[in-house]
Chain A
Amino acid sequence: MNEQEFRTCSVTGLKVHLPAEKLIKANTITAVIFIAIGGLAALGAAFTRWPAFHILPAEWFYRVLTAHGLDMLIVWVIFFEVAALYIGSAVLLNSRLAAPTVGWISYFLMLGGAVLTNIMVLSGKADVLFTSYPPLMAHPFYYTGIILFAVGALIGVFLFFATLYKARKEKTYTAQSFPLVTFGLFAAAAIATTTLLHGAGIYIPTLLWSLGLTGMDPSAYRLVWWALGHASQQINVCAMISIWYLIGALSVGMKPINEKLCRTAFVLYILFINVASEHHLLVDPVFSNAHKIWNTGYIMHLAVLASMIHALAVPAGMEVALRKQGYTKGLFEWFKMAPWGNPAFSGAILSIFMFGFLGGITGVTFGTEQINITAHNTWRITGHFHGTVVGGTTMAFMAVTYYILPLIFRREVWAMKLAKIQPWLFGVGITLVSGGMMLAGAYGVPRRHWDIVNFGGSPFAFSWDPTVYMWIGVFGIGAILAALGGIAYVVVTLGTVMYGKKLA
């Protein structure tokens, strides 16, 4: 091992491989730039869905909605996850990254793919929304961009596996098995492998179809696409939970109260989470009821069980750690005295609550076949996944950034006062967004329509119960707050990278 390629972190004592550090920085910054683009698109979509403003014409609404979905659900999270994989392998295991050059190939493929896809969407050549269901067809470069991105991400995942192998072979860590955070990221990487292969399995035939070389079966597309579309969010879940454990350890000295159980829960994700994708197809006329009920009525709940285990294990671990620090009065002194001034901690707690109460409960409920009939294709579904992916995953990624900045970028967090309120602005905003969407959706407001008042002059237009407009107003206020929280995150992160005080 060439010691000149390493530095020792003064806070954690971990050896940091410098070429890995450069890749972590590049992936993190790129993720932050894409959340800014996706956030701008979110504002365009929100102020159009809000009838009081309705700012964009129909074609631009669907264009920004496509960009918002792609940049937030795929580009931002996967760039950040690749950074997390390098932290979980090279940094946490005191190892060198197996092949930094391969890491840069992965990075540039992902970047090229993301830029190409965005250009196609914003130039109006891919108004197909995130799901891109056939017969909607985009320009072949749109699919090419996604394939490039997926291949790049897959290379990053394989580099993570190779680094784990190298660390084990070179005995760079003393424990018998990987730390829990690395184990959780391993689960994320395992799910990412099947997810990205499904992505290739569906986007390559779709590319050929867009070139006029083959036909396309829309039902086969839907089935395979959701093994990418939903499973990609399960990569997020594993990465998010790993980050909860990491933040717990760094902020309050938390240890898992039962590590074997936590590891088992990650294995449950690997085994059963992919079938949860089936809940997107509950009203699909092509698949049998037996198929739907087996996958979503039974098997899916084994993955839900995993989430329940983590949702109990993380706060319990924090409580035990804080009680050991002397906060033992009553049931909640530990909670009151927790380090709320640390934006990483407050962000992680908000992420746990939003993921559980907003996204988790509603996800399991809407994933029930009978209830799905009333919820499908309404704004309730959009409200649910803003609770999981934004309230849960994005909030957790934002929170851990407040540790990545000093530990990896070696910069003191710039504008700390703003950083402290950022999780609250974003968290309260997303709670209102998610709640407003779900409650308006309960009245039947459609998931994606550009104009819910006149339905574009359609003869099927009708009047909503006035309550709908109140809930849309709640959503709109939430969108403004969340946007302010998002802007604060981008400003603090980029500000720290450029102007933050250098640390040793």
Chain B
Amino acid sequence: MSDEHGNGRFVAPGTFVLALIFLITFIAVYFLNFKYLSTIWELH
């Protein structure tokens, strides 16, 4: 990545933040779905 753009800096910091937002949303949706599942399919 850095070779093509001529320096070793982080070339797309905005996209990195967008990717983090995506990852957090992913985790939240996954967690909520398992939480919902646990309410209707309880362990005894």
Contacts and interface: CB of A to CB of B under 8 A. Distances in A.
Given A258-B1, A312-B19, A361-B29, A320 B41 contact: no
Interface size class of B (residues with CB under 8 A): 20 to 34
Interface string B1-33: 100110000011111011100100110011001
B22 A357 contact: yes
Contact of B17 (A331, A362, A374): A331
A257 B1 contact: yes
Given A319-B14, A331-B13, A332-B14, A257 B34 contact: no
Contacts of B5: 257, 320
Contacts of A332: 14, 17
A136 interface: no
A361 B31 CA distance: 12
Contact of A257 (B12, B22, B40): B12
Interface string A312-323: 100110011001
Q: How large is the interface on A (under 10, 10 to 19, 20 to 34, 35 or more residues)?
A: 20 to 34
A315 B18 contact: yes
Interface in A318-336: 319-320, 323, 331-332, 334-335
A370 B34 contact: yes
B37 A370 contact: yes
A152 to B, nearest CB: 38
A334 B33 contact: no
Interface of B: 1, 4-5, 11-15, 17-19, 22, 25-26, 29-30, 33-34, 36-37, 40-41
A371 B29 CA distance: 11
A356 B22 contact: yes
Interface string A352-372: 000011000110111010110
A418 to B, nearest CB: 29
Given A257-B12, A320-B11, A365 B33 contact: yes
Max chain A Cβ within 10 angstroms of own Cβ: one of B1, B11, B18, B41: B18
A331 B22 CA distance: 16
Contacts of B33: 365-366, 368, 371, 374-375
A361 B28 CA distance: 10
A335 B40 contact: no
